[in-house]
Structure 1
């Protein structure tokens, strides 16, 4: 049915336009089916231009659809989390509110919206300018019935249709801290089907487990949920024998077994080895700081990963998020294994895992390492790597060296020094998508 919907929605587009993301939304009417489309043109001169389209189906089996909403994304576009999986988009003085039907679809569309906002800002797209002229054709094609148009314009009212969660916390209920909510949220999301569960259902499960009403903190929960989702993304297959991923991937036994992982390279000081009896581990215990020294470890990590490749195994290289420490280590491996310059290695790894951003200190070390490799290839002292001894994985430590917040998800709004709990605090300012994505990029 979804394929049929997608086929019908594509017929609404110009031939030169493409759907980047199609997300099904909640509706105030049970029979109605609604989609949010993120659309970009594939023609010269329109790079970085994006329009949001709202599409209506009268019911699940409808054989036609209509256009009900058009929102061009200008350079002033802002996206805010509204709680329970809802988010608002403000652009050119217009605001629309959307509620995807599941946590996973919310995460997919927010990632695409973040990229679109950055592109619009860098392109300087302003109303009345030359950009996004093609969007006017869609504005003239809006043809949904009035009740559909009203829903696109009045989605903010959908919030009031949801009954508030009953307040179950009594005077004797212990105060609930943000750190406790983060830890419990990870447990709930690990056991939930994120393709079907909504943010509201996740919050209600948190309320059931904690005995507290969290209705006033829906935006905080959505914010933390996005940080967890960023870690839960699947590992990136950079080479046939090598995956690059996060702490979550390293702790997901089912996923590791599905990917036939045999070796794990843990490039983080604060993360334990989760399955020492099942996989061969190597540890590089460093922090993600500009002053941290990764370069001295790259010969050993190269030998470790080369051994995995030669033995027909599969390796997961991870740190906290799979963006800085582990990414730099994979870049160093690619440069030596395949004789690539840093620029080519970076292009390949970012193609496989777009968010890769080693910190400036690691980038300087990679540049220096490139010089070492180039000099070595022209030196009589250079030995072919086939003649080098195969390194053995380091012995797995018996105790955990994890420190800090075990949830691994720092929040853009840190807890107060006094340790004030989540409940009873004043209402937080609205959380912007830009701030959330900045927090995700800084998790390393």
Structure 2
């Protein structure tokens, strides 16, 4: 545990962290410096903001304990310098990462909005290494009144709001406990004042959305979803249980089969010829997978159809269409409504996505999602009409 006081901008450098009484000078200077500083209570992997009090001596006695907080104070100082002067970090939690050399933080930022009430957003902040002196924003998530938080049973939790779901896995139990406490309180505030998209709340969050500039692989990791069967090629694939040899073989067959079929004239080639070509590429005999290959051929053949134009601004497409970047660009797609449970958002850095995560089953209640789908498509249409004389399209991905 540690109490650390960090200077807010302007600061001489991002490396300046804990302040001491010798730096403050007389009482007037001390008050000025305290107004430009924030104090945080730190545990492993998490930093919780403390409201400034009048007892400077109490803070002074604990400032030197920051040496037990690891590299968190240095990272926190860098993150503070990302903020507007009127905003504050309420919580910073270090998260697990699929990349061993990177450091990720979920940061809760709050400010006073147009209605003079507390408003909260989540930032996903990326450091390229533990020693990095700079960081970037890879995700911005507004906490609206419909926000729900659920434990995932795997050491993390998901935050769902306005059709978006993000998964966060803190590096320690204590860090997760701190995160859940702060998030539940922030959600209570959003519900109390009824914050909703398109209203007066959280207008200031657009500043941070304009600052998203993390590496694309970092952005992909922030947008990783649970329960996916079809993922982006560059996304790390983490199996809860080790797949069997047969499952691994089927996955390789499926991925390679697509490229083989795309290179062939399907009107003048037989299934056996495609299987022979597949065996050459994989350098193995696939006789025992003949039935699986034939079934996958039919599935892929159906997916290879072009997306259907429903309205001047709206296409209806499949997983194949949603993962084909060339087709999306040629059709002028700008927004994608992903109405699936199992399929990833393939290009989160290039298109605006909205997810309705339901299974393709007859019993699924799609009507309950009608307003969300309509609002997203209508918003996309209005934005595209405003910014373009020729309408880029919306892809409805089922």
Q: Which has the higher strand share?
A: 2
Tell me the TM-score normalized by structure 1.
0.36
Tell me the TM-score normalized by structure 2.
0.40
Which structure is higher in RCO with an 8 Å CA cutoff and minimum separation 6? 1
